[in-house]
Amino acid sequence: MGDYLAEFEHLVALALVRLGAEAYGMAVRREIVERTEREVSIGSVYSTLDRLERKGLVTSSTSAPTPVRGGRAKRCFRLTAEGEKALARSQRVLEQMAQGLSFEGAD
């Protein structure tokens, strides 16, 4: 049995898939804030990415510095093959749990 992602790890992994090559700290944070309408700190995002990287589910690379960032480099993240499997597994579990349920009362 492989790893399952926790709720916030799941959100971060989905944001990485959505953003593709443009998945860096700020973009991931904004993606989650815009889609979930929930306030998320950049610290939480980096802490989660760090944990996922230690588990071998995410890999990162540093790009060249850009003027828009005050001459600082950008660190881009992407899911590894193991990360994609873990995301698929967690997504499947969520869908299976929600199957046949209705959430009409939820806003």
Select the span of 3-11, 15-23, 91-99 touching another protein (CB under 8 A). Answer: 3-11
Residue of the chain from 52, 58, 79, 87 that contacts another protein (CB under 8 A): 52
Q: How far is the CB of 6 from another protein (least distance, A)?
A: 3
Least distance CB 52 / another protein (angstroms)? 8
Q: Please state, in angstroms and rounded to a whole number, the distance separating the CA atoms of residues 50 and 66.
A: 23
Query: How many C-beta atoms surround the C-beta of residue 29 within 10 A?
Result: 20
Strand partners of residue 62:
75
Q: What distances in angstroms separate CA 29 from CA 23, 39, 82, 94, 106, one per listed residue?
A: 10, 9, 23, 22, 25
Q: Which residues bind another protein (CB under 8 A)?
A: 5-9, 24-26, 29-30, 39, 41-44, 46-48, 50-52, 62, 65-66, 68-70, 72-75
